[in-house]
Structure 1
Amino acid sequence: MKESLHDYMKVGIVHFMADPAAMTGEGEIAASVARIAADEFFDAIEVTHVKDPAERAAVAEVVSSAGMTVGFGGQPLILRGKLNLNSTDDAERAAAIEALKGGIDQAYELGAGKFGFLSGPNPPADQRERALGLLADSIVQLGRYAASKGDLTLSLETFDDSTDKCALIGTNRLACELAREVRKAIPSFGLMVDLSHLPMQGETVHQALSETAEFINHAHIGNCVIRDPSDPAYGDKHPAFSHPKGENNVPQVREFLRGLLDIGYLRPDPAERPIVAFEVQPLGAGESTQTVVADAKRVLREAWRTL
């Protein structure tokens, strides 16, 4: 591709994965965000809950002054809190909805335009149809709450249903079935497709993107290890692309970008550039936020250069 990749996309980064300590919502998060915001390679950043109101205000000031597009990741709230939006227990599901409404409130405080989240656990086969209906109802409640406060867009990330997170929405086909139902009430609702999840989902890039073309509103690129369960990076850990046992590197990122172009998610000089965000984290000795982010940038540039 001769044009700059930045002509086609806003390159983003999942801050709380690049700096995993931020998942707790505590500590000097604004300073960590500022280090990424100072890198003009990134147009967008995804942050998560920040417990201290003063620190949250500081994060909002940093991303605003840097002119970044902001997304809010509700995934840590769900995973760390063991929340279940498709629970058959009414009290448990209500608690999950209320917790994510709190996340939506923070998303607005942080200036976010998109709210990412995932489904609850994958139940036994005989309960999945009911769980899918309950999940749809939960999302509609969240969508209506978000709409009552502004124009925040919801984006459900598809995960694995049997390898690591074992989520209900672990195939992109099922995600689209859900999206069709939710969009009857929340037309702006969309899906987030993550390259790092595709090997765990057992889907090719073509399968996943052709399936979700109608609904995709966010894209992540990352890596995973699935062939060696004894490896510390096994599962949904998002290791650096340089990991020797990883499934994704330049060829797979290039294929993903080509797929995003084929379905029209990426296009030359769009009125509003869509986001493609890195989701990588430091895991091994000698790795840091800086090294894994630099590796990811090199991989994206090379994948784009060789399209």
Structure 2
Amino acid sequence: MKLAYMYATPEVAPARVTAIQGDAAACFARIRELGYDGVELLVRDPRAFDHALIERQLADAGLAMPAVCTGEVYGEDRLSLADPDPARRAETLDRMIAAMDLAVRFGAMVNVGRMRGRYMDGVERAQTEAWVTEGMQAAADARPETRIVLEPVNHQYANFLMGTAEAARFVRGLDRPNIGLMLDLAHITIEGEVHRESLAEAGDLFWHYHVCDSDRQAVGHGGWDIAAALNDLDATGYDGWITAEHFQVPDAQTAMEQSIRWLNRHYDKH
């Protein structure tokens, strides 16, 4: 199994995010030294940093880059494809396409989680769904060689496309071959879904996976049965990437070490 760790790119403000932050070259070197195979990039505005530089830094560290996560487009700037303001929807789409331009350098995917937006008071639900459909299809059509993965997001952070079955139906309705799903153990668990059933609901749309432990802790630091979840994952024949996405608690070094040690033990990697 290929294991990645989340890194927040330089334009993301210092914050309690589910990614390591700091000098890219130093972070990448440490991630590789610990035994991870890749780095997933958490971005806010992919136009704000040098794509060629980060590509060189990843290559120097011997790391792959499986996905670009757009969480802080919404988390920091509250931009989404469902914003009632057409200028803000257009800005969201511009950032999405910039993320796809970054991803194509690596053959990577682009995640759409909170950036899809929410149902809002005073806006018909059908209108919200239409805006998100339009934005997702526009991004897919603008860069058809790059895959997009929609992420079901639990009710603590979203009120739209929270469950796996609902998200799978939505993606199938988009009717674009480069749009699929990514699943996150945290969202599946918090929504009260049965993990193996969520994997089955996603079916052939399931392209990427995030893992953490309870309270968004490093793998093995919480109370969830991670082994059972990963056994479910293995039973599907999934051979893609698993990204450890969690808070850097008590600090980044300890969190990175804890997750890779647990995951390596589970997969008998040496």
Aligned to 1:36: 31
- For residue 196 of structure 2, the aligned residue among 206, 220, 233 is 206
Cα distance in structure 1, aligned partners of 2:211 and 2:122: 30
Is 1:240 aligned to 2:218, yes or no?
yes
Quote how far apart the aligned CAs of 1:26 are.
8.7
CA contact (8 A) 2:164 2:201 kept: yes
- For residue 228 of structure 2, the aligned residue among 245, 255, 272 is 255
Aligned to 1:295: 258
Quote how far apart the aligned CAs of 1:242 are.
5.0
Report which stretch shifted further, 196-205 or 21-30.
Answer: 21-30
Aligned to 1:137: 134
Is 1:154 aligned to 2:148, yes or no?
yes
Report which stretch shifted further, 121-130 or 63-72.
Answer: 121-130
Given the superposition, is the C-alpha separation of residues 51 and 173 from structure 1 closer, same or farther in structure 2, using an over 3 Å criterion? Answer: same
CA contact (8 A) 2:219 2:263 kept: no
Quote how far apart the aligned CAs of 1:76 are.
1.6
Code of the aligned partner of 1:153:
R
Cα distance in structure 2, aligned partners of 1:202 and 1:155: 22
CA contact (8 A) 2:119 2:125 kept: yes
CA contact (8 A) 1:33 1:59 kept: no
Structure 2 gap ranges (5+) = none
Alignment of 1:44-55 (within 5 A): 44-49=38-43, 53-54=49-50
Cα distance in structure 2, aligned partners of 1:73 and 1:105: 13
CA contact (8 A) 1:37 1:62 kept: no
- For residue 280 of structure 1, the aligned residue among 242, 246, 267 is 246
Structure 1 gap ranges (5+) = 1-8, 226-237, 267-273
Aligned to 1:269: none
Aligned to 2:81: 85
Code of the aligned partner of 1:158:
P
CA contact (8 A) 2:6 2:243 kept: yes
Is 1:16 aligned to 2:12, yes or no?
no
3-state SS in 1 of match to 2:36: coil
Cα distance in structure 2, aligned partners of 1:263 and 1:25: 30
Aligned to 2:173: 181
Structure 1-normalised TM-score? 0.74
Quote how far apart the aligned CAs of 1:167 are.
4.4
Overall identity of the aligned pairs, in %: 20
CA contact (8 A) 1:107 1:115 kept: yes
Code of the aligned partner of 1:301:
N
Quote how far apart the aligned CAs of 1:85 are.
1.1
Quote how far apart the aligned CAs of 1:189 are.
1.3
3-state SS in 2 of match to 1:12: strand
Code of the aligned partner of 1:288:
D
Given the superposition, is the C-alpha separation of residues 20 and 69 from structure 1 closer, same or farther in structure 2, using an over 3 Å criterion? Answer: farther
3-state SS in 1 of match to 2:207: strand
Cα distance in structure 1, aligned partners of 2:129 and 2:228: 31
Quote how far apart the aligned CAs of 1:203 are.
1.0
Cα distance in structure 2, aligned partners of 1:64 and 1:256: 31
3-state SS in 2 of match to 1:81: coil
CA contact (8 A) 1:20 1:281 kept: no
Aligned to 2:54: 59
Q: Deviations over 1:137-188 (max 9, x none)?
A: 21111112222xxx3211112211x22x124221111110111012x2x202
Quote how far apart the aligned CAs of 1:219 are.
0.6
CA contact (8 A) 2:37 2:64 kept: yes
Given the superposition, is the C-alpha separation of residues 195 and 20 from structure 1 closer, same or farther in structure 2, using an over 3 Å criterion? Answer: farther
Quote how far apart the aligned CAs of 1:240 are.
2.4
Report which stretch shifted further, 173-182 or 42-51.
Answer: 42-51
3-state SS in 1 of match to 2:111: strand
3-state SS in 2 of match to 1:15: strand
Aligned to 1:94: 90
3-state SS in 2 of match to 1:282: coil
Please, what is the CA RMSD of the aligned residues? 3.0
Q: Deviations over 1:99-145 (max 9, x none)?
A: 22222233345x35111121212446983343223212211111122
Given the superposition, is the C-alpha separation of residues 36 and 26 from structure 1 closer, same or farther in structure 2, using an over 3 Å criterion? Answer: closer
Quote how far apart the aligned CAs of 1:32 are.
1.8
- For residue 197 of structure 1, the aligned residue among 179, 187, 196 is 187
